[in-house]
């Protein structure tokens, strides 16, 4: 089945640690996205990538980093510089045209302990 | 700037009654409009979209939405609600003027369908 796979589903991080969230897609989509979801705030864009080896900051990129070495993969690293990292993180992909819908992974819930 | 507003944090409806979840948008040019549904601790699932043409769009699970250009609205509707429709619903817009497929999401509306 085609789709987007995020792992792990739940992740616990100690303060001061970097953690990496995995996102893999087999939909052959050029565009990939990372969103952060907090209660009552909808989805906020962290980073996006339109093509391999290229990515751009979204609205809340501070404290996060990404890479796009392969078309299928778009991992997100939450660094120790992110002051409030506890949230639900969603990865998505789409054909890179404005009239196409995005496909989402099942999300990773990150908790700082 | 592009934006989406979902004026209701929560909508309550009895099973079997019609439901409406409201969405208004602000975008330069002609908008592309989307509805997604999210169940607890899951990702978003695409329901339907408006690109052009007929203002009434039909989507998955019996949902439909009506595009109203003069009111800049794209309300989600269903003639007869099911308990299983209870979930969080997001409206989103993208703009042909953007240089990539950027989605602007509303804050979400929680739909509660009671038996």
For residue range A4-54, what is the model confidence (pLDDT) as tens digits? 999 999 999 998 899 999 999 999 999 999 999 998 788 999 999 999 999
**A 6-65: CB under 8 A from B:** 6, 31, 33, 35, 40-43, 45, 48, 50, 56
Question: How confident is the model at residue B97, as a pLDDT?
Answer: 67
CA distance A108 to chain B (A): 9
pLDDT band at A2 (very low <50, low <70, confident <90, very high): low
Residues paired with residue B56 on neighbouring β-strands, in sequence order = B66
Contact check, Cβ <8 Å, B43/A48: no
What percentage of chain A has pLDDT greater than the value 90? 81
Of A96, A99, A107, the CB nearest to B41: A107
A 10 A CB-CB count for A77 gives: 14
CA B104 to chain centre: 12
Q: Is the pLDDT of residue A1 over 60?
A: no
Average pLDDT taken over every residue of chain A: 93
pLDDT in tens, chain B (115 residues): 788 999 999 999 999 999 999 999 998 888 899 999 999 889 999 999 999 889 999 999 999 999 999 999 999 999 999 999 999 999 999 876 677 778 889 999 999 999 9
**How many helices, marked H, and strands, marked E, lie in chain A?**
0, 11
Q: What are phi and psi of B62, to 5 degrees?
A: 80, 5
Considering only the beta carbons, identify the residue of A42, A95, A106 that sits closest to B43. A106
Q: What is the 3-state secondary structure (H, E, C) of A8-31?
A: CCEEEECCCCCEEEEEEECCCCCE
User: Which residue out of B44, B88, B110 would a mutagenesis test of the A interface target, given it has the greatest number of A Cβ atoms within 10 Å?
Assistant: B44
What are A47-77's pLDDT values in tens digits? 999 999 999 999 999 999 999 999 999 999 9
Cα dihedral B95→B98→B100→B104 (10° resolution): -50
Q: Does B22 touch chain A (CB under 8 A)?
A: no
Only one residue has tokens 């989307």, namely B34
């Amino acid at each position: 089945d085609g789709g987007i796979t995020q792992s792990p589903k739940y992740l616990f991080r100690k303060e001061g640690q970097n953690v990496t969230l995995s996102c893999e897609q087999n939909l052959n989509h050029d565009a990939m996205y990372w969103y952060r979801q907090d209660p009552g705030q909808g989805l906020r864009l962290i980073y996006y990538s339109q093509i391999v080896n290229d990515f751009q900051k979204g609205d809340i990129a501070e404290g996060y980093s990404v890479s796009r070495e392969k078309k299928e993969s778009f991992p997100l690293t939450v660094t120790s510089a992110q002051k409030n990292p506890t949230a639900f993180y969603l990865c998505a992909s789409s054909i890179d045209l404005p009239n196409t819908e995005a496909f989402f992974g099942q999300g990773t819930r990150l908790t700082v302990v | 700037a592009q934006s989406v507003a979902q004026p209701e944090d929560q909508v309550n409806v009895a099973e079997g009654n019609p439901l409406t979840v409201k969405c208004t948008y602000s975008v330069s040019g002609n908008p592309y409009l989307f509805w997604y549904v999210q169940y607890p601790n899951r990702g978003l699932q695409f329901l339907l979209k408006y690109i052009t043409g007929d203002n009434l769009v039909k989507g998955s699970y019996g949902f439909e939405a009506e595009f109203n250009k003069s009111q800049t609205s794209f309300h989600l509707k269903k003639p007869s609600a099911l308990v299983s429709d209870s979930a969080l619903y997001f409206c989103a817009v993208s703009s042909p003027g953007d240089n990539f497929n950027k989605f602007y999401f509303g804050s979400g509306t929680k739909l509660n369908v009671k038996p």
